[in-house]
Structure 1
Amino acid sequence: MRKSAKTDHTFACLQNATSEEIFEGVNASLTNPTEKFPFHPTIDGPDGVYPDYPSRLFARGHFAKLPFIAGTNLDESTLFTLPSLNYTTELIESFLIANFSPPLVSTQSFDDAVKQLVALYPEDPALDGDMGYQSQRRFWIQTASNAGVKTFGYLFTQPQAGSGRLGVFHSSELVYVYGDVENPTPSDAALSSNMMDYWISFATSLDPNDGKGSSRTEWPQYTPDNQCLSKVIIQLNGDNLTAIPDDYRKEQIDLSIRCLSPSITGVLCRSTY
């Protein structure tokens, strides 16, 4: 199948491939350190599923204005980095260029943005977590709240026993939402109870603070700059469940938002940096 993928008959190839062959191809692509994921949404023009770059659609207000919860984990990217690699500046730059090209700006502007971003994350694979998750969540929630959408944000920081270098890794929050934490500590159990009640409350009332279930910290609505308690998210941690400002790594994430977040911004590197 991988040989056929180099021809003009990739669709027919995929139609006739077995699930084992598809998995083999996907797994092989994931071991390439210069590629993030083998598949991405593709712009398919007017009346398509993705008619344009999301950044352009957001700027025109063309998105579903429905209430939502959006959040990220403290160490989102560790699950997708290869510990055996030496993450040098050169490797990180090649990763960015390979995965975020072609840009919608000049090559010079794009190269300058890459160098600025790498300078803010010197030889740090955590860069991918901000680009792929943290900046995406922040940009989306700010765009929606500025449009008057009722939304709530979180940062999940609960320590994960035995996770080693993975830390608070991608998807580790799910077992807390579903009340399925294995061998929970008192901190885990309390947090899981709170998170279940937050989510159930939101599902039934579009607000995580319905006053029912466990006694829990008020989760502030995410609001624009011109309102009280603007840009506040909740830190989901069994020992420190509290509201915090959404300003961690602001300089780095702001640059990621402006320049190098293709699934959200379409690599629209603006001149304000």
Structure 2
Amino acid sequence: MNSGSVIPAVPVSHPKPQAVYDQVVRVAGCRQAANTLNCLRSKRPAQFLAAANSLPGILSYNSVNLAYVPRPDSSDNFMPESPEIAGSAGNFAKVPLILGDQEDEGTLFSLFQQNLTTPELLTNYIKSYFPEAKPGVVEAYVQLYPDNAAAGSPFGTGTQFNPYPQFKRLAAILGDLTFTLSRRTVLQSASKVVPAWSYLNTFIKAPLLGTFHGGDLLYMFDVTRQTENTFPAQVLQTTVISFANTLDPNGLKVPGLVAWPKYGPDAQLLNVGNATTSLMADDFRQAQSDFLTQNVESFRV
């Protein structure tokens, strides 16, 4: 799984997903129908697509406050509980997995919130994601991220690339919530049951965006026709091909690629740089990670 895994979610009966459904029904022209679901099913594909896409997308002010996520339904055996509950109980497909991230997952999704100029505005924005958060929990989590551009994402760039006052702080928070630290939580449960490997890519370092969400795909699939023979492309492609064939990413060797250990108690990640790989501990931003784990019920979207 590249850049994303489990997203804790409020149930399908909650007012938040109901509002999503109501919006699609309205745009599709089905609000007056006796059976709105049957009405939606009767629409031509183009009509339904337009209605479904009427919700704010991921590259918008709403960002990763996603409209469409898998949501539990307690009346149905298929997915009766929030995904993180199922995962911690071992209720998932028992197959080996690779799960990793880009270093700066949140930058791409923090470009549209230029009005977030103060810590208070930032906190209220994050609170809007989580309708069932306990009082004070989101505020306490945001405080774990310093109001200091040098501590934000893209990481390791000092005070550069901060187009509005809370950009780098927001990018760090959104990247961790949706991708990087949620990955750690999933792996801590999954790696006890199945062979698992994890990575953190740091090889792009683009201005403003850093090693951004989706940047690895440019190398894995040579999207720009300029990355085929680069070191990152060779590492990403050979490890995935090896894993697909042998369920172990270490089967094919690339000069400069270190042996990639399974994820476990020592929690080592494969760090893929521009010209080398190395192993790194998965213990960065540990206070934030521990807080999310301890308060997961407040972070359901």
TM-score with structure 1 setting the length: 0.78
Structure 2: gaps spanning 5 or more residues? 1-22, 148-165
Q: 1:61 and 1:29, CA in 2 relative to 1: closer, same or farther beyond 3 A? A: closer
Give the Å deviation of 1:8.
8.1
Check the 8 A contact 1:75/1:168 in 2, yes or no. yes
In 1, Cα distance between equivalents of 2:58 and 2:187 = 31
Cα distance 1:177–1:30, how it changes in 2: closer, same or farther (>3 A)? closer
Change (3 A) 1:13 1:31: farther
2:116, 2:106 → 1: CA distance? 16
Counterpart check, 1:257 vs 2:293 = yes
User: For 1:151-201, what per-residue CA distance to the aligned partner results, in whole angstroms no more than 9, with x for missing partners?
Assistant: 0000011125xx43122111110122234454349xx70121122111111
User: Which residue of the partner structure matches residue 111 of structure 1?
Assistant: 135
Structure 1 residue 84, shift from structure 2 partner = 2.7
Change (3 A) 1:95 1:192: same
Note if 1:178 corresponds to 2:221.
yes
Q: Does residue 151 of structure 2 align to residue 151 of structure 1?
A: no
- Give the match for residue 248 of structure 2: 207
Per the alignment, do residues 266 and 50 of structure 1 end up closer, same or farther by CA in structure 2, a change over 3 Å counting?
farther
Give 1:84's match in structure 2, choosing from 114, 121, 135. 114
2:282 maps to 246
Q: Deviations over 1:30-66 (max 9, x none)?
A: 6444871222222112544321022322332212221
- Give 1:51-200 correspondences, 5 Å limit: 51-81=80-110, 82=112, 84-103=114-133, 110-121=134-145, 122=147, 123=166, 124-126=169-171, 127-147=173-193, 149-160=194-205, 163-180=206-223, 182-184=225-227, 189-200=230-241
Q: 1:220 to 1:58 in 2, by over 3 A?
A: same
Equivalent position amino acid for 1:77 in 2 = G
1:236 and 2:236 matched: no
Over the aligned positions, Cα root-mean-square deviation in angstroms equals: 3.0
In structure 1, which of residues 39, 43, 49 is the aligned counterpart of residue 72 of structure 2?
43
**Partner letter of residue 111 of structure 1?**
P
Query: Comparing 76-85 with 112-121, which one deviates more in the overlay?
Result: 76-85
Q: Could you tell me which amino acid in structure 1 is paired with residue 204 of structure 2?
A: P
Give the Å deviation of 1:97: 2.4
CA distance in 2 between counterparts of 1:8 and 1:35 reads 31
User: Which has more helix, going by share of residues?
Assistant: 1
Deviations 1:193-218 (A, max 9, x none): 122111111111111111x3523211
Mapped to 2, the partners of 1:156 and 1:29 lie a distance apart of 22
What code does the residue aligned with 2:26 have? S
How many pairs were matched up?
A: 248
Residue 248 of structure 1 deviates from its aligned partner by: 1.1
1:270 is matched with which residue? Answer: none
Which SS does the other structure have where 2:128 is aligned? helix
Q: 1:61 to 1:90 in 2, by over 3 A?
A: same
Structure 2 equivalent of residue 220 of structure 1: 261
